[in-house]
Amino acid sequence: MADQISLTFPDGNARDYPAGVTAAEVAESIAPSLAKRAISASLDGRHIDLAWPIETGGAIAINTMKDDGPALELIRHDFAHVMARAVQALWPDTKVTIGPVRDQGWFYDFDRTEPFTPEDLGSIEAEMKRIIAARDDVRTEVWDRDRAVAYYEQRGEPFKVELIDRIPGDEPLRMYWHGDWQDLCRGPHLQSTGQLPADAFKLTHVAGAYWLGDASRPMLQRIYGVAFRNRDDLKAHLTMLEEAAKRDHRKLGREMDLFHMQEEAPGQVFWHPNGWAIYTTLQDYMRRRQRAGGYVEVNTPQVVNRKLWEESGHWENYQHHMFIVEVDEEHAKQKTINALKPMNCPCHVQIFNVGLKSYRDLPLRMAEFGSCNRYEPSGALHGIMRVRGFTQDDAHIFCTEDQIEAETKRFIEFLSAVYRDLGFESFRVKFATRPEERAGSDEVWDKAESALMSATRAAGIEPEVNPGEGAFYGPKLEFVLTDAIGRDWQCGTHQVDFVLPERLDASYIGEDGAKHRPVMLHRATLGSFERFIGILIENFAGKLPLWLAPRQVVVASIVSDADDYVHKVVAALQQAGLRAEADTRNEKINYKVREHSVGKVPVILAIGMKEVENRSVSMRRLDRQGSETIDLDTAISQLSAEALPPDLR
């Protein structure tokens, strides 16, 4: 090991230090003021603790609370430890497990006989603030395995013993102390509990969680918290959560009578007429868009023999997400093993393989509104956002290597236009690289990742890298939408795949007369209809654009003498292609308006005797004050134009 190492700073300057120097000492060497503000460092892109010895040279940056990413990671990670310490201070018999950073905060899983209550969360918060006020030092040591196992066995912490067994042998076992409380952790952490912003966190709720996500293991109690750098950011987040609760698609789904779910079909959606109207309108729109985009539409079987899934690699890499179907075939000596398709890709290759394909046939863009089924743990299911049965707007583009760039650019333009039509003006793109468990050689993956990155940059996009999150057969682009209240939703995907065409023996005749493997581009724009409709409902708070609204117009009578005219107006609106209905109940007009406003009907036409006499309507718009009286023909013309889907305008 070298006695001296060279560290290069963000400004390009480099300095030599003795091997084993800590980031804290590096910060002190630059300026005492920086050392006081330092919270961690980044070494060649890896987040490290100020107290860790640095044995090899590289590019280093000293992080302070002004650096969003590192600061929030440390704040949330330290809050997880402080919360666990507070829980064990209040209930010493509680066993601790793991507490990772997630989303806007963290969670920590506990093994405790008594359930936590909302009042308990308040007590834990108070104890956390006391710990922060104590400003205890945070320190770390590296222990050997035998010592760590003996330590946790002596303290009666079996979950920590199991975690040690799961940590690879070449990884150091880091033991962190926050004051006199200790936890096994990879780090990094802040240098003192007093660095945490005591007014910028909140414990939100408790949920059940199986140990390591395994339903055969003990059920634990998971406490969730959120944390930010300051009180204002916390307040903004809590306001967003309140708004999100109002927009919850499950709540709005009931109010708008869109769908329901029940225990006899977990993770499956029962679409009501109003919800199905949204679904089919969106599907019709996508069908027209895809046809105009040069796609041919196909449909493939729901139940497919195990053999195909083995050939494609799904049986080995994806079986835990598949529903297995055993069939007693007539005269068969053993049951035939099938699976409900979790995705459409292998079936599309089967269509491609029928008949001889030429290079002149490429690119071949093959689309399917494919109904798929994937096993999700019951605890992960969430309304129509996370389901077991869903339909994808799925497509696969069979092309040559030379066509990857053009087809990627073409798809990004296609997706951008669709998202704009649906109310999302911009999106982010993430580049998901090879996962640990994958099919295909490193050489093939190098080629796929290089091709996709080059194509993405050629389309004018520099994506964020999402390491290890690619599909088992290829890297992918993930398109992330931001909704009206600032939440991110990963929807569309685009993947380059050299593996499946090889495994499933797809080929085309090239210009040279020889057989060649096509490249397979997997792409989805919306993702699943179920989830995307949930996103739309929450983005618009149920107030969908007129063309997507399931009930576009309600014509409501003010007096019963106007009923005949109400039905004539409804018939004229329906003739013009609008989804219109009559409300001639013997109720006051204000009652009707309130009820239909709760149901998020965009337009209510009120009809009294004045409107009958003048052949007019009194038009009320959702969330607008007052109404306007206009001629019936004018109203029909305006609403018909407004209700046209964006691609038909």
Question: Quick one: pLDDT at residue 338?
Answer: 92
Taking the CA of residue 345 as centre, how many other CA atoms within 13 Å lie in the half-sphere pointing to its CB? 27
Question: Quick one: pLDDT at residue 452?
Answer: 86
Question: Quick one: pLDDT at residue 538?
Answer: 96
Residues 464, 418 contacting (CB under 8 angstroms)? no
| Alpha-carbon span 360 to 511, nearest angstrom | 8
Cis omega (within 30 of 0) on the bond before 53?
Answer: no
**pLDDT tens-digit readout, 363-394:** 999 999 999 999 988 878 899 999 999 999 99
Residues 140, 146 contacting (CB under 8 angstroms)? no
> Which one is predicted more confidently, 305 or 333?
305
Considering the chain, what percentage of its residues have pLDDT values greater than 70?
A: 99
Q: Which amino acid is at 170?
A: D
Look up residue 573 and give its two tokens.
């609106």
Structure confidence at residue 2 as a pLDDT band (50, 70, 90): low
Token pair 């052949």 is found at: 615
Q: Exposed/middle/buried for 273, CB within 10 Å: 0-12, 13-18, 19+?
A: exposed
The answer, yes or no, to whether residue 329 has pLDDT greater than 80, is: no
| Alpha-carbon span 59 to 383, nearest angstrom | 46
Which of 140, 162, 156 is CA-nearest to residue 81?
A: 140
**pLDDT tens-digit readout, 354-370:** 999 999 999 999 999 99
Task: Provide the residue count of the chain.
Answer: 649
Cis omega (within 30 of 0) on the bond before 363?
Answer: yes
Provide the b/e sequence for 493-511 (b: ≥16 CB within 10 Å): bbbbbbbbbbbbebbbeee
**pLDDT tens-digit readout, 8-34:** 999 999 999 999 999 999 999 999 999
Indicate the DSSP class of residue 474. B
Residues 276, 551 contacting (CB under 8 angstroms)? no
Question: Quick one: pLDDT at residue 445?
Answer: 85
The answer, yes or no, to whether residue 1 has pLDDT greater than 80, is: no
The mean of the pLDDT values for the chain is 93
Residues 170, 145 contacting (CB under 8 angstroms)? no
Q: Is 629 helix (H, G, I), strand (E, B) or coil?
A: strand
Structure confidence at residue 460 as a pLDDT band (50, 70, 90): confident
**pLDDT tens-digit readout, 548-569:** 999 999 999 999 999 999 999 9
Please report, for residues 59, 237, 495, 596, the alpha-carbon distance to residue 404 in angstroms, rounded to integers and kept in the order given.
Answer: 35, 41, 10, 49
**β-strands 553-557, 603-607 pairing:** parallel
Question: Quick one: pLDDT at residue 442?
Answer: 85
Question: Quick one: pLDDT at residue 331?
Answer: 67
Please, which residues bridge with residue 182 across strands? 177
Residues 519, 401 contacting (CB under 8 angstroms)? yes
Look up residue 374 and give its two tokens.
């994937």
Considering the chain, what percentage of its residues have pLDDT values greater than 90?
A: 80
Could you list the beta-strand ranges (E) of 168-218: 173-178, 181-184, 201-210
382 assigned ligand-binding residue: no
Provide the b/e sequence for 41-74 (b: ≥16 CB within 10 Å): bbbeeebbbbbbebeebeebbbbebebeebbbbb
Question: Quick one: pLDDT at residue 425?
Answer: 87
| Alpha-carbon span 403 to 277, nearest angstrom | 38
Structure confidence at residue 531 as a pLDDT band (50, 70, 90): very high
**pLDDT tens-digit readout, 39-68:** 999 999 899 999 999 999 999 999 999 998
Structure confidence at residue 332 as a pLDDT band (50, 70, 90): low
Question: Quick one: pLDDT at residue 552?
Answer: 98
Backbone angles phi, psi at 628, to 5 degrees: -130, 140
**Mean pLDDT over residues 475-497, rounded?**
91
**Mean pLDDT over residues 157-163, rounded?**
92
Token pair 């996709």 is found at: 452
Q: Which amino acid is at 1?
A: M
> According to DSSP H, which parts of 371-508 are helical?
404-421, 442-458, 499-503
The set of residues, in sequence order, having a beta carbon less than 8 Å from that of 168 and lying 6+ positions away, is none
Residues 107, 140 contacting (CB under 8 angstroms)? no
Question: Quick one: pLDDT at residue 471?
Answer: 80
Question: Quick one: pLDDT at residue 125?
Answer: 97
Backbone angles phi, psi at 508, to 5 degrees: -140, 160
Residues 93, 197 contacting (CB under 8 angstroms)? no
| Alpha-carbon span 28 to 382, nearest angstrom | 49
345 assigned ligand-binding residue: yes
Provide the b/e sequence for 368-384 (b: ≥16 CB within 10 Å): bbbbbbbbeeeeebebb
| Residues designated as active site | 345, 374, 392, 394, 396, 476, 522
**pLDDT tens-digit readout, 169-224:** 778 899 999 999 999 999 999 999 999 999 999 999 999 988 988 888 999 999 99
> According to DSSP H, which parts of 460-579 are helical?
499-503, 529-539, 563-575
Indicate the DSSP class of residue 218. P
522 assigned ligand-binding residue: yes
Which of 436, 437, 440, 458 is CA-nearest to residue 448?
A: 440
The set of residues, in sequence order, having a beta carbon less than 8 Å from that of 543 and lying 6+ positions away, is 600, 602, 622, 623
**pLDDT tens-digit readout, 242-262:** 999 999 999 999 999 999 999
The answer, yes or no, to whether residue 336 has pLDDT greater than 90, is: no
Taking the CA of residue 441 as centre, how many other CA atoms within 13 Å lie in the half-sphere pointing to its CB? 4
Question: Quick one: pLDDT at residue 447?
Answer: 84
Indicate the DSSP class of residue 441. -
Q: Is 29 helix (H, G, I), strand (E, B) or coil?
A: helix
Q: Is the dihedral of CA 493, 495, 500, 505 positive or negative?
A: positive
**Least confident span in 158-167, 325-334, 496-505:** 325-334
Residues 296, 367 contacting (CB under 8 angstroms)? yes
Q: Which amino acid is at 384?
A: I
The set of residues, in sequence order, having a beta carbon less than 8 Å from that of 62 and lying 6+ positions away, is 23, 26, 27, 30, 34, 38, 41
| Alpha-carbon span 570 to 587, nearest angstrom | 19
